[in-house]
Structure formats: structure tokens, C-alpha cells
Structure 1
Amino acid sequence: MAPGPGPGPGPGLGSLALRLLLPLACGLGPLGCFRRHRGGTGPPSPLLPLLSCFAGGVFLGTALLELLPSALCSLGAALQGLSLSPQFPLPAFILALGFLLPPLLEPIAMEPLAPPLPFIPPPAPPPPCSPAHSMALLLALGLREAEAGPGLSPALLLHSGALGAGLALRMLSAGLRPPAVAAALLVLAGGAALGAAPGAALGGARAGLARAVLRGLAAGAFLYVTAREAPPPELREPRLRMRGALLLLAGFALVCGALLARERGPLTPDL
């Protein structure tokens, strides 16, 4: 009996659409809350500060439990693929370099082009999450989505959606305009689509090492931004401290549960 026809392109397109639309949809939700929060005439609602605490917990868990171990493993595997076994801890050095890059480069980027006049007051300190830090978060999360692979699971989708919402909240708190936040969400969704595309991870050993180095630098920068912003500044307000701390732990627990569920069960077939 002749073998039946192979699967068509429909399942792969369904997986691609889900991986592209989910971070985008979850990230666009905070934009509506942000506009209602800014447009109201009454006292400010605590919803956005509390959601920002939850996003801080998601980022903290992602940095410590996923990005750092994954970057170390990928760097070690890439070095072994090139038959390199340096005595110096090169993977840890690349992570440390990525951790040091944001505080070294941000003052240079914020330095005025001309010297200030004598009586101009010093500039205000940067917001808790500056636009440069937001770009570091976007790079690390985009690479994380691109390396996630073509499969799907509820845990992977839940984690990706939480990261999309958290990225939008952090960028809004940095003062970025909603169109810029929407553009960043499109970039993040493009990374998710790249991970779902077949053959996205193919390449030679040297290309794999370059990707691993970039992931290591991005993971180190992500850790710096997360460590600087966790706990979020909203936890300093007495009326939000308890709820904010609980939501921070809830975001961390969500990442823990998603990673445990992804490890225990195989990924579901493409839709």
C-alpha cells in the first residue's frame, strides 16, 4: 500500500499564528488600561502599579530560571561544537559582560552633545525603566522567543503571553508612547514567529556560537535591568506594599509553574 500524503502546511501556519498573535494580544491589553488610567479625572487607580509588580515577578523568574541557565548551556554546547574547551570560564564571562554593558553604555547614550551652560540645572534621574533598558528587555525576550522552537504547549503560551504583557507595562512605565510600545510588541511577536518557523535554528557551528554569544550578552543585560527594577518602585508605597509583594511572588510562581510543566510533558503537536 502506498503511503498517504504527508501533512500539509496548515498545522505549521496555525502554530505560527498562535505564537505571533499571543504576545501581541497580551501586550496590547495594558495599553487600554494605560489610556483609561491616564484619561481619568479621579484619583489614580492602583491597577497599573500592581500589574507592574506582577510583571516584575515574571521578569525575575524568567531571568533567574530560564534565560541565565539557557544561555550558559547554549554557550557551552556551542564551544563543544567547535571542539573548544578553554580553562577560562568563558560562558560566565560573556554573561558578566552583558550585565556590565547597560550601566557602561547608558551614561554615554544620555550624555548631551554640547557641554551644558553654567546655570542649567542637572537633568532629572532616568525613570525606573529607561528606554535603553526597555530595548535590552526586548532584545532578550525576542531572542528567547526565537529559540523556543516550533512546538506548542499551554505552559509555553502562558509564559509568552505574560512576557508580552510585562514588556508593555515596563515600557509604559518608562514613558514610551503607545505607538512605540505597539512597535516593540510587533518585534517580540516576530521573534515568536521566527521560533515557530521550521528551520529557524539551522546553521553552522560558528553561526551557533555567534547566536549563543548574543543570547549570553542579552541575558546578562536582562539580569541587570531586572535586578535594578526588582522590587518595583510601587512596593515603596505603604498602601500597595502587601498586594504588590504578593503579586511579585505570583509572577515568579507563574514562571516556575510554566517551566515545570514544560519540562514534565512533551510539547503538543502543531495546530
Structure 2
Amino acid sequence: MEYLLQVKICALFGLLVLTLFFGFIPARLKWFRNPNGTERDRTILSLISCFAGGVFLAACLLDIIPDYLSDISSELDVRQVETSFPLPEFIIAAGFFTVLIVERIALNCRELRGAPGEREPLIPEVRNHGHGHGHGANPEVENSGHHIHIDFQAHSSFRSFMLFLSLSLHSLFEGLAIGLQNTESKVLEICVAIVVHKSIIVFSLAVKLVQSGVPPLWLAAYVGVFAMMSPVGIAIGISVMEAQLSSGALIQAVLEGLAAGTFIYITFLEILPHELNSSGKQLLKVLFILLGFGIMAALTFLG
């Protein structure tokens, strides 16, 4: 077995193990699931959630969208496609509206069946007593006297799944980038960057899934599948290199665009409103959003 292939296989297993480790920290610790702890515990959970929001914002603006625009532009140039229509941006918008339409249909069907859990508005109505929830909020949290925005009903299971799906697609393409490299140094360079980046992402994803009330078995499945996406991408890249195939790059770029549109929807209409629509410690919450964004921006700058 040639040395380059050995390096790629080591990267495959290393990414899998480290992603599972960081993903199962929020999943395994009951502290992350407890909405009735002390005020200090609830504040820490809220700030961790804000940090995760900053991470997702940076991933959206500094990672997913730039990668997609670069890939789609390269593919259009290779195929000598010239148009004044903003096709790359239109593909992103298609991903955005696909999620919007599917979610509205899903919520409408659940409402017709009388299921109250998914009826929460995306941006909850602000009531006079300063709470930013809809009527489906956890009453124990509402009545605790210290309003920290960690209710389990604010995220629908559909939105949690779409967040997981968009991140998983992007993770698959990251792994594909490793598998398609032809030098050992480049494989190691990209792998180290992805390990650091993905460890923060999977931790933040697991926190969001926990706070969305996803059942433990489903949460384990989400984290497990997400952890496998980069290794699967590496394996696909290795197969393409071994088979000397060059097709499919345009399809990958289009899928990246749809994933980017999905992520824009989740980030700006779900995660950030969820964190900022509650009263109390607003400046501290903004600080932690900036902290999450800043760390990811620094990693991008160094990477």
C-alpha cells in the first residue's frame, strides 16, 4: 500500500474517532439536558448555546458559502458557461426556499393533525412580561423566575434534522477534498484544519440537538452519522482517485449550493433568533456569539 493511501486511511479513522468524542460530550452529560438546575447552570447553558450560534454563523459566512462559490465558479469556467444571471446565488436561494416550503408543508400537516409541538413560530412573539417564547415553552422554565432561553419546544425536530443534514453534506464534501489530494503534506494540512473545525462544529451541533429535545437514541444516531460523513467523503475521494474518474464535480458543487441555502435558513431564521429573543444578559450573549464567530474566523484565517 502506497504511503499516500496510508495517510488518507489514517485521516479517515482519526476524523471518525475525534468527531464521535466531541459529539458525545453534550449527548452523554445529563447536565446539558437539565432545564431546572441553578440559575448559574441555566446561564452557562444559554451562553454555550450562544457560542454555538456564533460558530454556525461563521461556518455559514466564512466556510460553507465561500467554498461553494469557489467550486461552482471553477466548474462553470471549465464548462465555459457564461451568463449574466447570478446562477450560483440562485442555487443557494433554491436551497433556502426548498427548506422553507418543506417546513411550512410539514408544520401545516402537523397542525391539521392537531400536534401542538411543531406549531411554534420561527421567531416567537414577544410578550409583555419580557419572555420571547410561544405558548409551547416548557412551563418549568417559564415559572423558574430566571428566564434563560433553553426551552425544548423552541426548536422543531424538522429544523434540527435540516441543520444536521446541511452540516452533514458539507462534512461529506470536506472529506472528499481530503480523498482527492495527491500529496501527503496537503492531506495532513487539510485533515488538521478539518479536525479542529469539525470538533467545534459537532460539539455545537450536539448542544443544539440536546436543547431541541431530540431523544437520546436519535441524538446518538445523528452524531454517529455526522461523524461518518467526512470518512465517507475520504473513501469516495480515494475511490475516484484510484479509478481515475473526473466526473461529478458539477453535481457536487450544486449540492454544496443547496446545502448552503439550507444553512442560511437555519442560521438566520432559527438559531440566532432563538438565542437573542429572550431577555436577560443580552450583551453577554452577544459577546459569546462573537466569541464563537471569532474562534472560527481565526481558524479560517490560519487554515
Please confirm whether the aligned pair reaches a TM-score higher than 0.5, indicating the same fold. yes
SS of 1:111's equivalent in the other structure is: helix
Change (3 A) 1:213 1:201: farther
**CA–CA distance in structure 1, aligned partners of residues 156 and 198 of structure 2:** 22
Change (3 A) 1:196 1:204: closer
Aligned to 1:182: 220
2:224 maps to a residue whose letter is: L
- Matched length: 254
Q: Give identity over the alignment, percent.
A: 30
Residues 66-145 of structure 1 mapped to structure 2, 5 A cutoff? 66-112=63-109, 115=112, 124-125=119-120, 127-145=153-171
Change (3 A) 1:227 1:257: same
Return structure 1 stretches of 4+ with deviation > 6 angstroms.
Answer: 120-123
1:36 maps to a residue whose letter is: W
Aligned alpha-carbon RMSD (Å): 2.8
CA contact (8 A) 2:240 2:246 kept: no
Measured after TM superposition, the shift of residue 113 of structure 1 is 7.1
Aligned to 1:165: 203
1:218 maps to a residue whose letter is: A
Name the TM-score, length of structure 2 as normaliser.
Answer: 0.74
Residues 258-269 of structure 1 mapped to structure 2, 5 A cutoff? 258-262=299-303
Change (3 A) 1:228 1:87: same
Measured after TM superposition, the shift of residue 96 of structure 1 is 1.1
Alignment of 1:248 onto 2:251? no
Deviations 1:96-138 (A, max 9, x none): 1112222211121223379568xx9897416443222222222
Change (3 A) 1:182 1:77: same
Deviations 1:53-90 (A, max 9, x none): 11100000000011111111211222233332233111
Alignment of 1:26 onto 2:22? yes
2:196 maps to a residue whose letter is: L
2:120 maps to a residue whose letter is: P
**CA–CA distance in structure 2, aligned partners of residues 247 and 121 of structure 1:** 32
Change (3 A) 1:162 1:201: farther
**CA–CA distance in structure 2, aligned partners of residues 103 and 260 of structure 1:** 32
Q: Return 5+ residue gaps in structure 1 as ranges.
A: 263-271
CA contact (8 A) 2:50 2:285 kept: yes
Measured after TM superposition, the shift of residue 52 of structure 1 is 0.9
User: Which moves more between the two structures, 149-158 or 241-250?
Assistant: 149-158
**CA–CA distance in structure 2, aligned partners of residues 204 and 182 of structure 1:** 35
Change (3 A) 1:39 1:54: closer
**Which one of 242, 249, 272 corresponds to residue 231 of structure 1?**
272
1:129 maps to a residue whose letter is: H
**CA–CA distance in structure 2, aligned partners of residues 7 and 108 of structure 1:** 51
CA contact (8 A) 2:15 2:195 kept: yes
Alignment of 1:7 onto 2:3? yes
**CA–CA distance in structure 1, aligned partners of residues 92 and 209 of structure 2:** 24
User: Which moves more between the two structures, 82-91 or 124-133?
Assistant: 124-133
**CA–CA distance in structure 2, aligned partners of residues 112 and 242 of structure 1:** 38
